[in-house]
Amino acid sequence: MEVLAGLGWRVDCWGLSRGGRSSSTYLNNIRAGAASFNENDPFFQAAIQRASLRLRESHSPDPLLIDPYVGCLLPYNTPEDMEDQQLHPYCLATKFIDDKLLQTMQSTDGLKQVVLLTDGLDTRPYRLNWPTSTLIFNVCPEKVFRGALQKLQGAGAKVPRGCMSFHVPSDSFDIENILRSKGFSGTRPSIWVFQGLPIVNLESFKDILSIISNLAMKGCLFLGELPVCLAEIDAGDQSATKKWLDVLFMSYGFRVKMIEYDEVARNLRKDSAKRASGVGASILFVAEHLCFSDDQMETWRTEFQRIEEEGDEEGFEEL
How much is the mean pLDDT over the chain?
A: 84
Model confidence band, residue 319 (pLDDT cutoffs 50, 70, 90): very low
Q: Which range of residues forms the domain containing residue 130?
A: 2-318
- Relative orientation angle of helices 294-318 and 202-215, to the nearest 10 degrees: 40
* 86 — pLDDT class (breaks 50, 70, 90): confident
CA distance 114 to 105: 9
- % of the chain surpassing 70 pLDDT: 80
**Residue with more model confidence, 43 or 234:** 43
> What does the pLDDT read at residue 20?
37
pLDDT at 79: 73
User: Which residue type is seen at 178?
Assistant: I
Q: CA 182, CA 55: separation in Å to the nearest integer?
A: 31
Q: What is the mean pLDDT of residues 213-237?
A: 90
Share above pLDDT 90 across residues of the chain, in percent, rounded to a whole number:
65
| Euclidean distance between CA atoms 219 and 255, whole angstroms | 10
Q: What pLDDT was estimated at residue 26?
A: 43
Quickly state the pLDDT bin for 275 (edges 50, 70, 90): very low
What's the confidence (pLDDT) of residue 37? 52
pLDDT at 305: 75
Query: Does residue 64 surpass a pLDDT of 60?
Result: yes
pLDDT per residue over 102-154, tens digit each? 999 999 999 999 999 999 999 999 999 999 999 999 999 999 999 999 999 99
Give the pLDDT mean for 257-261.
Answer: 94
How would you write the chain as a 3-class SS string? CEECCCCCCEECCCCCCCCCCCCCHHHHHHHHHHCCCCCCCHHHHHHHHHHHHHHHHHCCCCCCCCCCCHHHHCCCCCCCCCCCCCECHHHHHHHHHHHHHHHHHHHCCCCCEEEEEECCCCCHHHHCCCCCCCEEEEEECHHHHHHHHHHHHHCCCCCCCCCEEEEEECCCCCHHHHHHHCCCCCCCCEEEEEEECCCCCHHHHHHHHHHHHHHCCCCCEEEEEEEHHHCCCCCCCHHHHHHHHHHHHHCCCEEEEEECHHHHHHHCCCCCECCCCCCCCEEEEEEEECCCCHHHHHHHHHHHHHHHHHHHHHHHHHC
Average pLDDT over residues 216-238: 88
Amino acid letter at 13? C
| Angle at which helices 89-107 and 42-58 cross, to 10° | 80
Buried b (16+ CB within 10 A) or exposed e, 46-69: bbbbbbbbbbbbbebeeebbebeb
By mean pLDDT, which of 11-20, 113-122, 199-208, 265-274 is the weakest? 11-20
Give residue-wise pLDDT tens across range 1-57: 333 333 433 333 432 222 333 444 444 444 444 444 567 889 999 999 999 999 999
CATH number for the domain harbouring residue 46 = 3.40.50.150
What per-residue confidence (pLDDT) applies to 33? 40
Number of domain units in the chain = 1
Average pLDDT over residues 183-189: 97
Identify the band that residue 278 occupies on the pLDDT scale cut at 50, 70 and 90.
very low
